[in-house]
Amino acid sequence: MFEIFFGIALIVFASKVGPAVARRVGQGNDPGLARRLQDMEDRVTTNEERLLGLSAGTHERLLDIEERLDFAERVVQSQRHKKQLPGASQDE
């Protein structure tokens, strides 16, 4: 009975690990694959750096827009208060 379970476990293990080992061994024999992998890693690094730069620029732009919006809201609010003051001209 033990031999059957051991055999099944060995087959399952080999079916899961075998392809991974074959890919690993295959990578070592193909210098083109290693070069392509390095190129892809370089591209990912470059894209990450660009994304971080865009994020920082977007944050700065958002802060500027928020300041402008706050200013515009204060101007509008000030105009409303002027119209509500007694004796203020209604023609504005």
* pLDDT tens for the 92 residues of the chain, in order: 666 666 666 565 666 666 666 666 655 567 787 788 889 999 998 888 888 777 777 888 889 999 999 999 999 998 887 777 666 555 54
The answer to whether the CB of 90 falls within 8 A of the CB of 83 is yes
* Whole-number Å distance between alpha carbons of 7 and 28: 31
CB-based contacts of 26: which residues, under 8 Å, 6+ apart? Answer: 33
The answer to whether the CB of 86 falls within 8 A of the CB of 80 is no
